[in-house]
A and B are shown apart, each in its own frame.
Chain A
């Protein structure tokens, strides 16, 4: 299951979705808004997405992960809009029979999302703002 949402991410609902009698391992990665970047205090983050392509690129990553590991169920949810400190920006959940595949697939999915999915993060500081990774 792949989704882009403006609403807070529900971790409990994701866990319920991933659980099955065959799943011996469930891994989660949560990307959370923290209060600083390189010691500069962050007030909030603003996420923007090219919705249609963000969904299709996330689906490609999920399909690719399913080719590489024996995944029983997965969920990839990315938030957009304005996020406050402590809120979950992205949730990756992977259910497999054994733990090694769950760890590896979860890491692969988040690392690849950061490279190819058209979602942009703006850091809003108390004294300015900047788009992450935009400048050399």
Chain B
């Protein structure tokens, strides 16, 4: 069964996609790694970014972590605060 998750975008990822959030269709039991692969497929421009991390419910997530459709998911390009 396919579900769609909503992914928040910031910084360069928002500029590259022209959107502040994207809906990504994923199979049930999909992981953070699956999400990144799908995003790279749909938005090839993301490949030019130095590193892309994913946060789930406000915490950095490993690529094995499984996703649920109600999770708050965000793409985290290299940070540059300070």
Contact = CB atoms under 8 A, between A and B. Distances in A.
A128 to B, nearest CB: 13
Contact of B81 (A90, A131, A135): A90
B1 interface: no
B77 A121 contact: no
B71 to A, nearest CB: 13
Contacts, number: 79
A134 B12 contact: yes
Interface string B34-48: 000000000000001
Interface string B56-69: 00111000000000
Contacts of B12: 120, 131, 134
B48 A135 contact: yes
Given A116-B60, A119-B82, 11 more contacts: A48-B11, A49-B81, A50-B8, A53-B74, A54-B81, A113-B81, A118-B55, A118-B81, A120-B11, A131-B11, A135-B49
